[in-house]
Structure 1
Amino acid sequence: MEKVHYLKRFMFLVMAFGLVTTFTSCDDDDEPNPNSPALTDVVGKYTGTMETIVVAPATEEGEETPGGTTVTAEVTKDEVVFEKFPVAELITSIVGEEAASGIIEAVGDVSYKMKYTPTFNDDKTAINMALTTEPLVLEINFPTEETAEGEGEEEAPDLKVEVTVAASEAATFAYTGDKLAFKLQVTAVKVNGEPFELPVTTFSFDLAKTK
């Protein structure tokens, strides 16, 4: 009789342990996994290079700028932001090398922003970012002699350049190395409202997340 009593106690303890384990497992399933990929993983600050590839109308191969240009960017929850977009090569293509240096200095820092919509790839090893681009506008005032104080009114810029930018492919953020890569293509240029013929120009960005 005593053996039956101990057997019942043992079975009761086993059942109780099983219930505790079940409830604990359910609680663990409800808790978020901190290591699970999230679309916000792309948010952060980046640095890297921008290669400029210019394709002349008579050729199929592009000429790449040696070494590229160092760039920094920030990705927020819905935008890719350049506080200093590298426009030197673009300005040089439009006005020529001789006049470019003074104009680049006059233009100063140019900010540029793009909206994006993120989605995971199939195995969640990367985030694809569909970019929504806007025209890049440069307003250039050539240096002139200072006028007397209070004379004249604010004038229109001597040169207004409107660059149509397109992103034919989505940007890609790869978890391996925290790399962000994308390409922007200049599809049209207007100078003071008039179309300006410019070779097909592609900006290729290769960035790494710094924080």
Structure 2
Amino acid sequence: MKQQLTREEIQFIDNYLKNSGVEYIDTRAEVVDHVASEIENRFIENNTSDFYEEFKMYMIQHKKALLKNIHKYRWSLDKKILKQVFKNLIHQKVLAISGLFFGIILILINTLSVSTENLKTIYIVINGSIFFITVIYPLFWLWKQKISVINHAASLYYLSNYLILLNVGQLVEGYFLNYFIFLIVITWFNISFAVTQVNYFKFYKDKFQLS
């Protein structure tokens, strides 16, 4: 039977990596899992149960490469959250929130004289609220913590919206219906992004018992 590391031994690995400069707690958790699995394999290969000796030998052999390639673990987390954003596009919560926003937009269009310029204002107000949920809310609660996937997602949210509005938005800006559909799609995606971000925030808050 494969010998598994104790909670104290896993915490030892976590503290070691933190002191070695792996600051983001979610990235560090991925590396801890990898190192723990490698140590458990070494127990079998070397027919031993001496954690500290095997850990020391493993780090002598692999620490430099492990820290050098830390970005690979960050990228794997980024890919995970992006996949979840696309999955959440058809999640009931996202569809319900999107439907509410779209209903509000349609009411505004039917009751007011809405031009393409007005649509821009509506978009800014709605997606500004989404930006608050996606960026400010998690960072406000976790300002003392470093979670790479949340920080990266916030940056990606801002950059993707900026580039899409700058390029695609200008192409359809003169056509009210096309621009309306374009903003609906962007808002739907942003809502999925916000729901995914909040879910990850709650997950890491509970997992690491963050205040």
Which interval holds the TM-score relative to the shorter structure? under 0.3
More helix by share: 2
Q: TM-score, normalised by structure 2?
A: 0.22
| Structure whose alpha-carbon radius of gyration is higher | 1
* Structure with higher RCO (Cα < 8 A, 6+ apart): 2
